[in-house]
């Protein structure tokens, strides 16, 4: 059954000139799938993830998730969708430099209504799960390049989202560390999380159940 349905998605950026980032993107994903998104630099991969995550305005087409048309709904419903459904790992991770690992991971829990000590406990559990036990109180710059994406994964999943959107989570990592990050994503997928991840790396892409290729703002299976 279709869970995420992107139909004819179009996205333009206007910076004096008009840049068509997504021309006409159509694809769908079932719940529990592990989907790789590949394509050349500038082809629209990050834009596509942002669109699925409800982070951008859409200039044409529709995105439906769990039968909810996320760009034809109230801002409250969209905010709810982002909070309840989506975990996001950004291409540059966007960890808050002045907050420790555990504080970064707590951020999505702040709206959850959980008491503070339970938030911290939950954040510590997830950091342990991603392999960062003992490093909870470090600031991002005190963590290695391979440890930082783990914090980003922990933060994106602490709310147990149904969908994880990961934009080059293995970024500039060496292949062994990249492989470990992929194993973490696979373990999340085994627990039922639907995952869309962007990668440049053919080898990592091959670990997905399926690849969606983007070229010049158009998707090809
Ligand atoms: N906020 C923005 N303002 C203007 N143009 C943008 C913006 N974001 C993206 N673009 C442009 O849209 C196109 C698609 O960008 P996008 O970031 O989605 O590509 P990408 O496939 O993720 O590339 P990369 O592999 O380098 O991360 C590019 O031409 C880019 O310059
Ligand atoms: Mg990108």
- Selected residue with higher pLDDT from 40 and 173: 40
Which of 23, 39, 44 most suits a substitution to test ligand 1, by most atoms within 8 Å of the C-beta? 44
43 lines ligand 1 (CB under 6 A): yes
The CATH class for the domain spanning 2-220 reads: alpha beta
Q: What is the pLDDT of residues 29-85, one digit of tens each?
A: 999 999 999 999 999 999 999 999 999 999 999 999 999 999 999 999 999 999 999
Task: Kindly report whether the global pTM for this prediction surpasses the value 0.85.
Answer: yes
Q: What is the pLDDT of residues 127-168, one digit of tens each?
A: 999 999 999 999 999 999 899 999 999 999 999 999 999 999
Model confidence band, residue 176 (pLDDT cutoffs 50, 70, 90): confident
**Mean pLDDT taken over the chain:** 94
- List the 34-38 sheet strands across, edge first: 68-69, 60-65, 2-15, 17-30, 218-220, 210-215, 34-38, 194-198, 163-167, 86-89
- Sequence-distant (6+) residues with CB within 8 A of 105 are 123, 126, 127, 151, 154, 155, 158
Write out the two tokens for 212.
């969606």
Give the pLDDT of residue 172.
75
């Amino acid at each position: 059954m279709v869970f995420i349905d992107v139909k004819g998605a179009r996205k333009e950026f206007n910076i004096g000139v008009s840049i068509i980032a997504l021309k006409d993107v159509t694809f769908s994903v079932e719940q529990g799938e592990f989907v790789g998104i590949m394509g050349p630099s500038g082809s629209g991969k990050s834009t596509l993830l942002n669109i699925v995550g409800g982070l951008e305005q859409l200039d044409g087409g529709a995105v439906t998730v769990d039968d909810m048309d996320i760009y034809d709904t109230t801002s409250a419903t969209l905010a709810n969708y982002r909070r309840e459904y989506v975990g996001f790992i950004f291409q540059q991770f966007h960890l808050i430099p002045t907050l420790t690992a555990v504080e970064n991971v707590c951020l999505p829990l702040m709206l959850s209504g959980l008491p503070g000590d339970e938030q911290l406990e939950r954040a510590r559990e997830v950091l342990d799960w991603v392999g960062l036990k003992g490093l909870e109180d470090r600031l991002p710059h005190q963590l290695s390049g391979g440890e930082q994406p783990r914090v980003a994964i922990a933060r994106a999943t602490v709310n147990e989202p149904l969908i994880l959107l990961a934009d080059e989570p293995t970024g500039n990592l060496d292949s062994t560390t990249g492989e470990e990050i992929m194993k973490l994503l696979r373990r999340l997928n085994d627990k039922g999380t639907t995952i869309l991840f962007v990668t440049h790396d053919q080898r990592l892409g091959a670990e997905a159940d399926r690849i969606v290729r983007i070229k010049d703002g158009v998707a090809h299976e």
